[in-house]
Amino acid sequence: MSNGTNFDVAGAINTLTETAGKLFQVQVDVANNALKALTNVAEPLGKTATDLIGTFANAATQILQSVSAAIAPKK
């Protein structure tokens, strides 16, 4: 007995599977783009931090040399 509806179960499952696959691909693409953006931000930030640490180290060395020269007994 039919109630007058013709429902294509295989077609519905196929459409649902395609939709789930597209959603998964979109999530992968978003994660990939986020990782690329993070890398693009982290690279110059890391270089700047390294340069800043080097500058502070050089400044500290110069300060110590100046203090040592001021304290050292003169001949």
Query: Which one has a higher pLDDT value, 5 or 71?
Result: 71
Query: Which one has a higher pLDDT value, 7 or 25?
Result: 25
Query: Which one has a higher pLDDT value, 71 or 33?
Result: 33
CA distance linking residue 44 with residue 34, whole number of Å: 16
Q: Which H/E stretch holds residue 30?
A: helix 9-71
CA distance linking residue 11 with residue 18, whole number of Å: 10
**30-39 per-position pLDDT tens digit:** 999 999 999 9
- What average pLDDT score do residues 23-51 get? 94
Terminal-to-terminal C-alpha distance of the chain: 117
CA distance linking residue 68 with residue 62, whole number of Å: 10
